[in-house]
Amino acid sequence: MRVIRERAPRVAALVAALCLLLVVAITPATAATTYRKDVYFTAGYERQVDGRTCVAASTAMMLNFIARRDLRLDQMRILRYAQPRDALNDAVQRGTDPLGWARALTHYSSATGRSFAYRWEAYGSEGAALKRAARLIEATGKPVGLTVQHGQHAVVMTGFEASRDPSLGDFTLLSIWISDPLGATRTRYAAASSPTDRYLELDATSTYDRAWYDKYVIVVPEDRVQMTRAG
């Protein structure tokens, strides 16, 4: 009995040491199962100047994040550029739409020191739209525009957290980061609880109404790598 009692503390110490080694060994592997990328920085955030300029503020914000500095773009000037180039009725519209947003981003991209293009895309599911956004943030280093409040408001998706790097293949989107020109400067949302929702506005031309209605509409940078491969 004396021998058993003397060995018990040694066995317990050995078990504790092994458990500690397992924790050390497992922790890095667990950490490596998630991938994060976010292009947000504090000085790039823009708050909209009035109720019409959520797209204009989001445009300025996105270009600031790309340039990595405050470009001091004029929101009303951006809005005035977008409105004649969107699909809305110029006589009655207040803001602009995804088409105007994409065209404004493309036009004012030269303010960053290099020109590039944005375009709108529409998806049948929230998951498909957000995974597309995450892939393009990873591939281009540029933020993505999201339509929310059923098309009545615009916000910016600056980053995401995923099960792995999207460039390596399929992945699970875990969370996203959003900057709202009328709300919080930076908010993390679980991917399944993001504010993006179906576009339900019917104030554009019939062509664009059909393209956007009941879809998840996003405004994305062109991925030159994907375009080259596709061509």
Tell me, what's the pLDDT at 99? Answer: 98
What is the structure's pLDDT at 32?
A: 55
User: Distance between terminal CA atoms of the chain?
Assistant: 80
Q: Where along the chain do its domains lie? A: 1-32, 34-230
Beta strands at 118-123 and 216-221: parallel, antiparallel or unpaired: antiparallel
The whole-model pTM stands at 0.83
Tens digits of per-residue pLDDT, 74-86?
A: 999 999 999 999 9
Q: Which residues of 203-215 are buried (b: 16+ CB within 10 A; e: fewer)?
A: ebeeebeebbbeb
Q: Do the Cβ atoms of 182 and 54 come closer than 8 Å?
A: yes
- Which pLDDT does position 91 carry in this prediction? 86
pLDDT single digits (tens) 162-178: 999 999 999 999 999 99
DSSP symbol at 88: B
CATH number of 34-230: 3.90.70
